[in-house]
Amino acid sequence: MKTLVEQFNAQMRDAIRIGQSTNLSVAKCDYRNIVIAGMGGSGIGGSVVSSILFDRLAVPVTVVKSYDIPAFVDKNTLFVACSFSGNTEETLAAVAQAQAKGAAIVGIMTGGELQQIAEQHHYPHILFPGESKQPRANMGYSVFLLFYMLEACGLIDHGFEADLQETVALCEQHEMAIRTQAQALALALHERLPVVYADARLESTAVRFQQQVNENSKQLCHVNAFPEMNHNEIVGWEHPQFLLAKTAVLLLRTGYDHPRVRQRMELCRPVFEAQGATVTDVKAEGQSLTAQIFYLTHLLDWTSVYLAEANGADPAPVAVINRLKEELAKLNG
């Protein structure tokens, strides 16, 4: 996994190359909504794109991370199926329902059954390399190629590519500083429960880190977003005190945070510290929201790998997930 994180900048550059070279024949329709279906490392890409384009898309986006799809899906829906392997059972089930509803289906995958379905029905699709065998290590592909797919469908203009180029240059320029900061963050999180808070616009970025801590570091992590957490979770910072004293709060910060959220973070800091929690600000670099999100993503990916080392854990295998899939396969048999 460490090698895959080292290759992340190269992956983003390759994603741009694939996006630029893929000739997609997509009918420009009057889409009324977008549904992005995907699980795990594929699904989080949809959530991140939805966050970035929150104030740019003229139609609503729903990210589906289950077997079923919304009742509103119809012929005016752009249905984007994202699956690293192309064999994710939840995503394939969702595609079957989208077909029955007559949705316009497109796909992003490395191969598998989803590719076969796309080729059989002539659905526009983008293929990307799958040699890593690690879906969570391919966020550069999943996010960047979603932008190119949405452009091909006439839903965004080409301006996004300048943000992608900035993102890669930024991460390459700051690579050594990112690794150094990640080591310090891993040390701050070691033997503590990470609690990650961010502006609602950055919730998917926080969730991405949670997933990386779960899979790479083999430990639990908690995430919530401002301002919603101020209407409920903040009251929970009283008990159990022994657990709160073992938490490490990370406040993810970008230049796109709402001004009132910045104020809320500062007002909540003493609440956390009063219970013995450590509080660390994690600030993004870059100009565009895309660049800032990916700067944080790369920094926190490295953090999860260094935290795995501190935990004495191998970040690559996900034995429990594989065992669960095997047991589910038996139930189908």
Under a CB-based contact definition with an 8 Å cutoff, are residues 18 and 126 in contact?
Answer: yes
Could you confirm whether 325 is annotated as catalytic?
A: yes
- CA-nearest of 327, 199, 168 to 263 is 199
- Whole-angstrom Cα distance, residue 9 to residue 298? 9
Q: 53: closest CA among 143, 153, 171, 165?
A: 143
DSSP letter assigned to residue 156: S
Alpha-carbon distance 115 to 124, whole Å?
Answer: 10
Q: Is 218 a catalytic residue?
A: no
The string of DSSP codes covering 63-112 is: EE-SS---TT-STTEEEEEEESSS--HHHHHHHHHHHHTT-EEEEEESSH
**DSSP helix/strand/coil, 183:** helix
Q: What is the CA radius of gyration of the chain?
A: 20
CA dihedral sign of residues 87, 52, 160, 212: negative
Which listed residue (75, 121, 133, 325) is catalytic?
325
Amino acid symbol at 196:
V
215 noted as active-site residue:
yes
Q: Which of 158, 231, 239, 330 is catalytic?
A: 231
Full DSSP string of 17-62: HHHHH-----------EEEEE--HHHHHHHHHHHHHTTTT-SS-EE
Among 90, 203, 215, 298, the active-site one is 215
Our CA angle for 44, 125, 26, nearest 5°, is 115
Catalytic residue positions? Answer: 215, 231, 325
